[in-house]
Amino acid sequence: MPQLITEDDLQKLDESYEEIVDLPDDLAEAGDEIPLSPDEHREMADVIEAWATDTAAYTLGGELTAPLLLLIAAEHRHAAGDTEHAHRLAGQARDHADAEPFEAHPTFIEFALVAGDGETAAALAAEVLDARPVDLAFYTMIGESYEDNGDEITAERWYTLGLEMMASTENTDDPEYLGLLISRSMLRRDLGLPLDDFDQQLERFTED
């Protein structure tokens, strides 16, 4: 009988590779994590790829899907420097029968930005924008990729688009909405931008 794999198994795998740096007492709260080595990323990618593809040995439960696991494995391969393997896994996720529309786009956008290919990243981002998905993860992931790669202006735009989408669906009670409000406000402060309606909304949240 195939082994059931759930979000708990994914979390346990992550935790098994976590290590915490021993810091002086006055810095202990920082809890700085040691980055995974390339080989550790490869080990995790192999496990996750097997969960996604070996249907004789594994079955997926909860909200896990094969495309999602393939994308996670692709990110680990990319972090290990295995670019070709990472793109192959992301392509499998994109083409999988269970894939959601544009599900792999944020991953390909991240890969393009890391490679310095802003033109490809912008073209993929435009396709997502045209589709206007109602899943906040699209906007958050794309915004984070731009922010991590030094384009704070585009990142702020994607964070704003995500908040506007959530507001239009009256889904502002979602904890992820508050999280994005905070991330966007911090970025706008770093950019020296004036307070706007979303910044003021965050202030009201923190006052309550």
**84 shares its domain with 129:** no
Q: How many domains does the chain have?
A: 2
Domain end position, chosen among 99, 126, 143: 99
Same domain (yes/no): 93, 140:
no
| Domain match, 123 and 67 both | no
Burial class (CB in 10 A: 0-12, 13-18, 19+), 39: exposed
Q: Judge if 9 and 71 occupy the same domain.
A: yes
Instruction: Transcribe 154-179 into DSSP letters.
Output: HHHHHHHHHHHHHHHTT-TTSHHHHH
The residue range of the domain holding 28 is 1-99
15 within a domain of the structure (yes/no)? yes
What is the spatial distance between Cα 105 and Cα 91, in angstroms, rounded to a whole number? 10
For residue 174, the model assigns a pLDDT of 81
| pLDDT confidence of residue 203 | 83
* Boundary of a domain, candidates 43, 68, 99: 99
**Is 108 part of any domain?**
no
| 149: in domain | yes
The answer, as to whether pTM is greater than 0.85, is yes
In terms of domains, do 51 and 123 share one?
no
Same structural domain for residues 73 and 147? no
CATH number reported for the structural domain that contains residue 203 in this entry: 1.25.40
Say whether both 68 and 122 belong to one domain: no
pLDDT value of position 156: 97
Domain for residue 104, yes or no?
Answer: no
Same structural domain, 21 and 94: yes
With CA atoms as reference, report the closest residue to 199 among 186, 13, 191: 186
Low-confidence ranges of the chain (pLDDT < 70): 19-33, 207-208
Q: Given this model, what pLDDT does residue 208 score?
A: 61
Amino acid at position 39, single letter:
D
Residue 27 confidence (pLDDT): 47
